[in-house]
């Protein structure tokens, strides 16, 4: 965010990232969800991990945005409905849960599909610059940040 991103998304699907903590079924469902979203919503096609539950954004991108999120995939709503110019994706390694359980269910799946189809007519045609950081770039930025602390 300090390098000018409007939205920062830790991604499992860029070099240095991993979805290794997911079992085959969850990987299949997650991949299918991403694919469906990218087919119907142009604004998320260049984002490698639009179904990520971990993200940051500048509060200012919410100005004049009419958000009506359904379920847990709030990032897709933000990407579709907000005005922003730069998205930065950083490598992220997904790990198995230490406690609790997945929210994935038939209800969550249906909510996601309903959200995608509700966004089709409302989504903005955002042409943001998407920057994917390498593991080396992330390490360099973290070292620089730690040296300032």
Q: Per-residue pLDDT tens for 99-127?
A: 666 666 788 888 989 999 999 999 988 88
Identify the CA nearest to 51 among candidates 22, 83, 15: 22
**Banded model confidence at residue 6, pLDDT cuts 50, 70, 90:** very high
Q: Which two tokens stand for residue 25?
A: 């079924």
User: Strand pairing partners for 93?
Assistant: 18
DSSP, residue by residue, 21-64: TS-HHHHHHHHHHHHHHHHH-GGGTT-S-TT-S--EE-GGGGTT
**Banded model confidence at residue 139, pLDDT cuts 50, 70, 90:** very high
**Could you tell me what percent of the chain has a pLDDT over 70?**
94
pTM of this prediction exceeds 0.85 = yes
Which value, in Å, is the radius of gyration of the alpha carbons in the chain?
Answer: 16
Residues 21-80: tens digit of each pLDDT: 778 888 888 889 899 999 999 999 999 999 888 899 999 999 989 999 887 789 999 999
Please, are residues 7 and 88 in contact by the beta-carbon 8 Å criterion? yes
State the alpha helices, DSSP H only, in the chain. 24-40, 74-81, 106-119, 135-148
Please, are residues 109 and 30 in contact by the beta-carbon 8 Å criterion? no
Higher-confidence residue: 95 or 81?
A: 81
């Amino acid at each position: 965010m300090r390098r000018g991103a409007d939205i920062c998304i830790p991604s499992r699907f860029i070099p240095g990232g991993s979805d290794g903590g997911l079992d085959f079924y969850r990987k299949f469902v997650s991949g299918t969800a991403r694919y469906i979203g990218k087919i119907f919503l142009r604004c998320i096609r260049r984002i490698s991990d639009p179904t990520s539950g971990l993200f940051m954004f500048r509060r200012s991108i919410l100005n004049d945005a009419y958000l009506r999120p359904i379920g847990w995939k709030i990032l897709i709503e933000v990407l579709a409905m907000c005005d922003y110019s730069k998205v930065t994706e950083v490598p992220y390694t997904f790990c198995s849960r230490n406690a609790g359980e997945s929210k994935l269910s038939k209800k969550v799946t249906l909510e996601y599909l309903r959200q995608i189809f509700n966004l089709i007519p409302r989504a903005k045609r955002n042409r943001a610059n998407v920057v994917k950081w390498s593991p080396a770039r992330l390490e360099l930025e973290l070292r620089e940040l730690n040296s300032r602390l």
